[in-house]
Chain A
Amino acid sequence: MKVLIIDDEEDIRAVVSLSLNHFGQIDVLEAESGEEGVNKASVEKPDAILLDMTMPVMDGPSTLAALRDNPNTKTIPVIFLTARAMTAEVERLKNMGAAGILTKPFDPETLASQVKNILTTQKNQAKIEQGI
Chain B
Amino acid sequence: MGTYISVISYLYIILIRRGSLLTKFRLNAFQLNAFQRLNLNLFHKGFILVFAPLAFELIFVIILACLLHQAEQEALREAHSKAIITKTNTLTKIFIDAGASVGAYSVSKNPDFGEHYELAVAQMEQELKDLKMLVKDNPRQLANLEHIEVSARRGLDLLNKIKISTDEGSRISSLIGSHRVYKELKGLIEQVESDLNGFVEEERRIERTSPQAQARARSYVHIFLWVGLVLNILLALVMAHLFFTGITGRLSTLSDNAVRLAKSEPLNESLTGNDEIASLDKVFHEMARALEEAIQKQRSIVETMPVGLFIINNNGIIELINPTMATMFAYKDNDLIGKHISTLFTKATEFEQRFDPIKLDSAKHDQKNSTSENIYEKLIGHVRELDAQRWTGEVFPVQLTLTSFKYKEGDRYLCNILDVTERHEIERLKREFVSTVSHELRTPLTSIRGSLSLLALGALGSVSEQAGKVIKIAERNTIRLINLINDLLDVEKLEAGKLEMVFDNVPFANIIERALESVRSFAEQYNITFETAQTNTVVYADGDRLVQVLVNLLSNAVKYSPRNGTVKLSIDETNDFIKIGITDRGRGIPTDFKDKVFERFQQVEAADAKQKGGTGLGLAICKAIIEEHGGTIGVDSEEGKGSTFWFILPLKTAVSSVAPEQIIENINKIHKSSKVKENRLEKV
B-binding residues in A (CB < 8 A): 9, 11-12, 14-16, 18-19, 22-23, 54, 83-84, 86-88, 104-109
Contacts and interface: CB of A to CB of B under 8 A. Distances in A.
Interface residues of B, number: 20
Contact of A105 (B457, B482, B502): B482
B497 interface: no
Given A108-B453, A109-B453, A18 B446 contact: no
Given A16-B450, A22-B457, 11 more contacts: A14-B447, A15-B446, A15-B447, A22-B460, A83-B438, A83-B443, A86-B500, A87-B500, A104-B443, A105-B442, A108-B457
B460 to A, nearest CB: 7
A84 B498 CA distance: 13
Nearest to B450: A15
Given A9-B443, A83-B442, A18 B459 contact: yes
Given A88-B500, A107-B453, A83 B446 contact: yes
B453 A84 contact: no
Question: Among B435, B446, B449, B459, which residue has the most Cβ atoms of chain A within 10 A?
Answer: B446
Given A11-B444, A11-B447, A106-B446, A22 B454 contact: yes
7 contacts: A11-B444, A11-B447, A12-B447, A15-B451, A83-B446, A86-B500, A88-B500
Contacts of B669: none
A54 B435 CA distance: 13
A86 B446 CA distance: 18
Contacts of B450: 12, 15-16, 18-19, 105-106, 108
A11 B449 CA distance: 11
A86 B439 CA distance: 12
Contacts of B502: 87
Contacts of A87: 500, 502
Nearest to B442: A83
Contact of B459 (A14, A19, A107): A19
Interface in B435-491: 435, 438-439, 442-447, 449-451, 453-454, 457, 459-460, 482
A105 B500 contact: no
Nearest to A10: B447
Q: Which of B443, B451, B482 has the most CB of A within 10 A?
A: B443
B589 to A, nearest CB: 33
Given A9-B443, A11-B447, A15-B447, A23 B459 contact: yes
Nearest to A104: B446
Contacts of B445: 105
A15 B454 CA distance: 8
A111 B678 CA distance: 46
A79 to B, nearest CB: 15
Nearest to A13: B447
Interface string B614-641: 0000000000000000000000000000
Contacts of A54: 439
A124 to B, nearest CB: 23
Nearest to B445: A105
Contacts of B500: 86-88
A84 B442 CA distance: 9
Contacts of A19: 450, 453-454, 459
A91 to B, nearest CB: 9
Interface of B is mostly: helix
Contacts of A9: 443, 447
A22 B459 contact: yes
Nearest to B453: A108
A59 B276 CA distance: 91
A60 to B, nearest CB: 13
What are the nearest 4 A-B pairs in CB distance? A15-B450, A11-B447, A105-B446, A22-B459
Contacts of B447: 9, 11-12, 14-15
Nearest to B478: A105
Contacts of B439: 54, 83-84
A54 B502 CA distance: 25
Interface in B486-514: 500, 502
A23 B454 CA distance: 9
Nearest to A54: B439
A108 to B, nearest CB: 4
B446 A12 contact: yes
A88 B439 CA distance: 17
Interface centre among A12, A104, A105 (most CB of B within 10 A): A105
A18 B435 contact: no
Q: Which of B442, B444, B450, B453 has the most CB of A within 10 A?
A: B450
Nearest to B544: A87
A27 to B, nearest CB: 16
B442 A109 contact: no
A88 B500 CA distance: 8
Contacts of A14: 447
A110 B459 CA distance: 13
Nearest to B449: A105
Contacts of B449: 105, 108
A18 B443 contact: no
Contacts of A11: 444, 447, 451
B459 A12 contact: no
A3 to B, nearest CB: 15
B454 to A, nearest CB: 5
Contacts of A105: 442, 445-446, 449-450, 482
A12 B443 contact: yes
B459 A108 contact: yes
Contacts of B442: 83, 104-105
Nearest to B545: A87
Nearest to A110: B453
A100 B194 CA distance: 173
A11 B446 CA distance: 9
Contact of A109 (B438, B443, B457, B482): B457
A95 to B, nearest CB: 15
Nearest to A22: B459
A84 B446 contact: no
A84 B431 CA distance: 13
B523 to A, nearest CB: 20
A87 B445 CA distance: 22
Given A15-B446, A19-B459, A108 B454 contact: yes
A84 B432 CA distance: 12
A12 B449 CA distance: 10
B543 to A, nearest CB: 12
Nearest to B502: A87
A88 B443 CA distance: 21
Contacts of A88: 500
Contacts of B444: 11
Nearest to B451: A15
A51 B31 CA distance: 106
A17 B623 CA distance: 40
Contact of A18 (B438, B454, B482): B454
